[in-house]
Amino acid sequence: MGYFITLEGVEGSGKSTLIQNLKEFVGSIGREVIVTREPGGIDISEQIRSVILDTKNTKMDGRTEALLYAAARRQHLVERIIPSLQEGKVVLCDRFIDSSLAYQGYARELGIDEVLSINEFAIGSFMPDLTIYLDLDPEIGLSRIRKNKGREVNRLDLEEIHFHKKVREGYEAVIKRFPERIVTVDANQEFNKVFADVKEVFLDRAKEIFN
Ligand code: TYD
C-alpha cells in the first residue's frame, strides 16, 4: 500500500532539505520512496511551472495563476503520484493543494472555497494521507532565503512581506478546515530538532504503512 505525504510552509521554512532527509529516513526503514514537488515534478507540469514562476509574467491574473497551478497538479497526479502509490511507494511531495488554498485562496483573496472547487475538478476527492505544515514567521523565512544565494528567486518570492504574512494566515485557516490531515511542526528551531519533530509526526501518523 502506498502512502502520500505532503510538506507545506512559507518560503524558507526548510521544506526541500527536510523532505530529502525524510526520504532517507523512510528508505532506511525499508520502504520504497520518491520525492517530488509542485508545481512541477514531471515534464508537462515543469513547463507550466516555468510560465507561472517567470519573473517577467507580472501581468498574470490571480485566477489564471490558480488555474495553472491546478492544471500542473492534475498532470502530476495522474502521471506520477497515483502510479507511484499504486506501486506501493511512499510519495513525499514538496507542496500540494494546501499551497493553492493558502496562496491563491487566501493571500490572493480568490477565496478558499473557490480555489478548493477548481482543485476538486483537477484532483477529485484525492487528498494526501498526511500533511506536515512547517510553521515559521515569514520574516525569518525570507531572511534565510536571502542568505542562501544559490536558490532561484521566483515571481512569488518577489511579493511584499505583507503577502507572505497573509500566506501564513491562509495556512492557519486551511488547518482549521483539515485538522485531521494537517500536523503543524515549529520550523523556528535548530534544523536537527525540526527534523526530529517531522520524524516523530511521520512515525506516529503513518503507522499503518509498517504493518
Ligand atoms: P518554489 O521555488 O518551489 O518555492 P518553495 O521552495 O518555497 O516551495 O516555488 C513555488 C512557489 O509557488 C512558491 O512561492 C509557492 C507557490 N505556490 C502557489 O502559490 N500555489 C501552489 O499551489 C503551489 C504548489 C505553489
pLDDT higher than threshold 70 for residue 106: yes
Mutation pick for ligand 1 pocket among 18, 95, 145, 161 (CB with most ligand atoms within 8 Å) = 95
CA-CA distance, 30 to 88, in Å (whole number)? 12
- Tell me the CA distances in angstroms from 107 to 79, 94, 102, 156, one per residue in order: 29, 19, 6, 11
The 10s digit of each residue's pLDDT in 21-51 is 999 999 999 999 999 999 999 999 999 999 9
Q: Decide whether any atom of ligand 1 lies within 6 Å of the 39 Cβ.
A: yes
* Ligand 1 centroid – CA 211 distance (Å): 34
pLDDT higher than threshold 70 for residue 63: yes
Output the pTM of the full model.
Answer: 0.95
* Ligand 1 centroid – CA 64 distance (Å): 15
pLDDT at 209: 75
pLDDT higher than threshold 80 for residue 211: no
pLDDT higher than threshold 90 for residue 207: no
Residue minimizing CA distance to atom 17 of ligand 1? 99
pLDDT higher than threshold 90 for residue 107: yes
The 10s digit of each residue's pLDDT in 51-62 is 999 999 999 999
| Burial bucket for residue 190 (CB in 10 Å: 0-12, 13-18, 19+) | exposed
pLDDT at 20: 98
The answer to whether 14 touches 134, Cβ cutoff 8 Å, is yes
Q: Decide whether any atom of ligand 1 lies within 6 Å of the 119 Cβ.
A: no
Mean pLDDT of the chain: 95
Reported as a pLDDT band with limits 50, 70 and 90, residue 82 is: very high
The 10s digit of each residue's pLDDT in 121-179 is 999 999 999 999 999 999 999 998 888 877 777 887 778 899 999 999 999 999 999 99
Reported as a pLDDT band with limits 50, 70 and 90, residue 1 is: confident
CA-CA distance, 94 to 20, in Å (whole number)? 10
Mutation pick for ligand 1 pocket among 51, 154, 161 (CB with most ligand atoms within 8 Å) = 154
* Ligand 1 centroid – CA 53 distance (Å): 8
